[in-house]
Amino acid sequence: MWSESSERTASLSGALPAASTKVPKMTTGFLQVQQLAKAYQADKPVFADVSFQIDKGEFVCIIGHSGCGKTTILNVLAGLDTASAGHCFMDGREIAGPSLERGVVFQSHALMPWLTVRQNIAFAVKSRWPDKPRAELNAHVEKFVALVGLSHAIDKKPSQLSGGMKQRVGIARAFSIQPKMLLLDEPFGALDALTRGTIQDELMAIVRETQQTVFMITHDVDEAILLADRILLMSNGNEGPSGYVPGGMAEVVVNPLPRSRTRAQLHHLDGYYDLRNHIVDFLVSRARAH
């Protein structure tokens, strides 16, 4: 079984001298993924033996090329898909089906077009707390709309919003049900660079304020370095000399940069380029299983 502690050391030794002396925070296993596998074709699993843990309040990003199984893992954690083997536990209970304890934000905003911002978020809140009094419900909705800077648009419909504003609504909706864990599937992938950066800053601020546990898929190396406490690097399945080798968890990289980092200062921080080069080198030359 893949050992997280040994992989951390292996992934950083030599490549990241600034990080190699850092003692990683021990995980409490708030989320535990144990020997997960997914196969659409029995003799060629997409990935196999994927194991990792996420601590409560930790922000973890997963990176890998298309087809490695990142979204499948997120969907299993969301309860929207089932694995071919292995188990996932959150807060001591095995994940089996969707739950309001896990908030999901997809790349597409998935808002109901006939409802206003207020109504879209209220729909989620009422699903979580059906008996919440109307005044309390409205106050709760307004609090989370304000958190993403959309108070001025609270009574607009999605057709009246920009792409970035729609994603803000999706993030506010996910946070409004106060889930134990937030699952993000490339939520900023379709946004322009300026809007993406602004929402990254807002997400960081909200996560720090709420101490939310987050699992996020991204293809953006700088986004992962900015947001994540740890970065999981996944390999793709590959035909090797001895036959097919399924993809899996290749490395776990502990982010050595200060958690108070910002986008503006990121490239000035000691260790940033070592960390970035290490991840890019993995994606360019080592992302296929062997």
Task: Measure the CA dihedral 207/212/213/219, to 10°.
Answer: -30
User: Structurally, what CATH architecture does the domain formed by 4-101+179-286 represent?
Assistant: 3-Layer(aba) Sandwich (3.40)
Higher-confidence residue: 140 or 21? Answer: 140
User: With contact defined as beta carbons under 8 Å apart, do 67 and 246 qualify?
Assistant: no
Instruction: DSSP letter for 83, please.
Output: -
231 - beta bridge partners? 61, 253
Closest by CA position to 150, among listed 166, 174, 138, 134: 166
* Whether residue 213 has pLDDT greater than 70: yes
Over residues 125-152, the mean pLDDT reads 93
pTM for the complete prediction? 0.85
Average pLDDT over the chain, rounded to an integer: 86
β-bridge mates for residue 59, sequence order: 214
Task: Choose among 282, 230, 251, 255: nearest CA to 31.
Answer: 230
How far, rounded to the nearest angstrom, does the alpha carbon of residue 277 sit from its chain's CA centroid? 21
> Tell me, what DSSP letter sits at residue 151?
G
Q: How far apart are CA 74 and CA 216, in angstroms?
A: 8
Q: How confident is the model at residue 12 (pLDDT cuts 50, 70, 90)?
A: very low
Mean predicted confidence (pLDDT) in 175-183: 92
pLDDT in tens, 227-240: 999 999 999 988 88
Residue 188 has a pLDDT of 81
Q: What is the mean pLDDT of residues 144-162?
A: 93
